[in-house]
Chains A and B, each alone.
Chain A
Amino acid sequence: MHKSILNNLLQQEIISREDAEKIEVFESKKPFSLHWELKSLLYLGVLLLNIGLGFLIYENIDTIGHVVIIVLIGAISTACFWYAVRHKKPFSKEEIKSPTPYYDYILLLGCLTFLVMEGYLQYQYEVFGTRYGLATFIPMLLFFALAYWLDNRGVLSLGITALATWLGITATPQDLLSNNDFSSSAIVHTGVFLGILLTVLPFLSERWGLKKHFSLTYLNFGVHILMISTLAGMMTLEQSLFYFPLLCVAVGFFLWYARTRGSLYFLTVAVLYGYIGLTYMLIIHTESLNFDFMFYLFYFVFSCIGVIVFLTNYKRFIKNNQQ
């Protein structure tokens, strides 16, 4: 394949013969990268170990002593943290590259086993008694501290999840809808609060120049929690007069973010959530008017054409800093 391309380029005299020879040598000698395969194996190993250990505990609670289990898992966790601290690079407010290839995974394993151990302590000895808040508060503090200290976005996500759990909602994107009861107003309010918090935090940290590369992790959690909470407020609490403007502000904010930072992910996400909200508003407010079914079909046709025209022209919408 590359030979034909090289021949074409040579014939058109765009590249010289030396270039072509250099490329030919490179193509025949280039090493085969096993980066992805080994990284996936590492990930899978961490995942399996953690699942296995987690279940092992609950299965063997009666046979091997509690102390043995706690010491074993604590030892793994401590070993991981010890490794992470020993190999860490000096703290910086900017992004730090991982010191070793497996560094991130070992740290992740340490954090996950810490969670398992803590859960076990609480289950068996009720260390935190009935103060369940404390049981999620401690890992949250630990994860945020580790994330900022050792510069790790995976641990930061763990911290954000712990923060959400502490506040009472499940925050992982794929469980956001299934594990939360969005018909309770407490959850919706918490969700809106958490969403706004996670959206504002990155701007503060960018202003302070602290770990600017964490922004996307925060915003990714923030956008989904905020939008779904406001939509839930509109649909299940039926307070659309309050929540619809809030949704509009949120959509506007993320469109602005997409426009100034050139992020097409947030552009698409904001448009999708905005469209859902708008369509919902249209349908419930025209219910009493008894419109023909055709009206809605035409609404979908024209609104979709509008959105498609908008999205296809995204290059005009987004400010191109490079120009």
Chain B
Amino acid sequence: MIAYNTNWLDALLTKDSARKWHEKGLLSAEKWKAIEGHYPSNFYSPNLFVRIGLAIFTLILLMAAGGILVMILEPESDWAFSAFGIFCGIACIVFLDSRVIRNGRHRSSGIDDTLLYVGVWAILLGLCYSFDYSTPALAYYCIAWPFLVAGSIRYLDRLMGLAAYLCSLGIVLLVVKEIPGLALFLLPLAGMLVSAGAYLFSKSGQKRYAWRHWHGVLMVVELISILTFYASCNFWVVQQAALSIFGLETVPIAWFFWTCTFCVPFVYIYVGLRRKDRHLLDIGLACVAAAVFSFRYYYHVLPLTWAAVICGAVLFVTAYFSIRYLQHHEGAFTYEEDSETSMLQEIEQQLIEQTIANQPGPKPDPSQSFGGGQFGGGGAGANF
């Protein structure tokens, strides 16, 4: 079912955990060596920057190759073009499976990701090419859904998982929208229910050892479902949706949505801290900001500048005293840096570096450039 060598994936998982224990001094150097020797994994997984470079060049290559094929085959009718798209997509996937993953041992190298995305995109384009303008959006979603789900399952791809979740949510919302009379009330409810269901599913999925290879995909679904749950009950989102879909100026049961707008983020933060769940906590913090923005959109209590100054000062002082407190009080929480940074934090860091205009871009640490860290490529040198 999985395109990649599952023994190597297991070996990576084991080594990742063992490395952390070794770094914390819980495993001696000999034992760490023994584990490394006992669990070989031979994927070609280059450093992030090389991965980006490879993805860019693979994309150019595929576009040029597609261009050559178009020039040679010259598909003229709609049907010919559809068949051409499907053919190219299948060719990409076959090449990905047989050459890149099996022979080249690639995993997250930029090449396999790009081939997968381009392949799925070409197949979908081929399938939908002959549709005319009156085709309902639901048809596109339903056609894309099986491919996105299959892609995320077979290739363990996070972006595919994200697309599959959003596609599922889209299908449900589009169906609910057509219910006469009640759609206005049912839409937010449906969004919340689907999100909650996806959250519970991904949470329980991540606990299953048999599903260990899909952890990354399920984690993305977990993150995005927390977000969509909040979006479904946020007053601003609901009001904008009511305006654009039903042309309504006012939202019924507004008090309910306003309560959710402000309470849900704090529930996230509270539960996140109680259960030590970083995803809930971080998204909760972001949702507080979203709640403030939603409120400001309708009620201009304070001029923007004063709001910024006061919020900035409050944030700064809160963080300052929290850090002080944590440094002097030992307990369940700490300000010590954690060696494991989650994907969310990496994105956050990127955002911060982009917002503070004068911060330099991502800087490579030369000492980490060689197969250390998460890049388990041991002897992957001469391949492709």
Contact = CB atoms under 8 A, between A and B. Distances in A.
Contact of B44 (A5, A297, A305, A312): A312
Interface stretch (A199-207, A239-247, A265-273): A265-273
Interface string B50-84: 10111011101101110110010000000000000
A8 B49 contact: no
Interface stretch (B189-197, B223-231, B253-261, B333-341): B333-341
A59 to B, nearest CB: 6
B37 to A, nearest CB: 9
Interface stretch (A9-17, A123-131, A280-288): A9-17
B27 interface: yes
Interface stretch (A26-34, A185-193, A230-238, A248-256): A26-34
A55 B207 CA distance: 49
A216 B276 CA distance: 36
A44 B358 contact: no
A308 B61 contact: yes
B35 A14 contact: yes
A158 interface: yes
Contacts of B305: 52, 55-56, 59
A36 B380 CA distance: 33
A312 B334 contact: no
Interface string A36-78: 1111111111111111110110010000000000000000000
Contact of A300 (B44, B64, B310, B338): B64
A322 B371 CA distance: 12
B359 interface: yes
Interface in A161-180: 161, 172-175
B212 interface: yes
B348 A42 contact: no
B209 A4 contact: yes
Nearest to B364: A265
A313 B382 contact: yes
B108 to A, nearest CB: 13
Contacts of B362: 265
A50 B27 CA distance: 47
A102 interface: yes
Interface residues of A, number: 89
B309 interface: yes
B312 interface: yes
B308 A272 contact: no
Contact of A12 (B38, B61, B276): B38
The 3 lowest CB-CB distance pairs between A and B, nearest first, are: A48-B312, A45-B316, A52-B308
Interface of A: 1-2, 4-5, 8-9, 12, 14-15, 19, 22-23, 26, 31-53, 55-56, 59, 101-102, 105, 108-109, 153-154, 157-158, 161, 172-175, 216-217, 220-221, 261-269, 271-272, 275, 293-294, 297-298, 300-301, 304-305, 307-309, 311-316, 318, 320, 322
16 contacts: A19-B27, A32-B334, A35-B338, A36-B282, A36-B348, A38-B319, A42-B323, A49-B316, A52-B308, A102-B323, A154-B356, A161-B358, A220-B360, A298-B64, A313-B384, A320-B370
Given A45-B315, A311-B53, 7 more contacts: A36-B348, A48-B311, A49-B309, A108-B356, A216-B364, A304-B64, A311-B46
Interface of B: 13-14, 17-18, 21, 24, 26-27, 31, 34-35, 38, 44, 46-47, 49-50, 52-54, 56-58, 60-61, 63-65, 67-68, 71, 109, 111, 206-207, 209, 212, 215, 276, 278, 281-282, 285, 303-320, 322-323, 326-327, 330-338, 341, 345, 348, 352, 354-364, 366, 369-370, 380-384
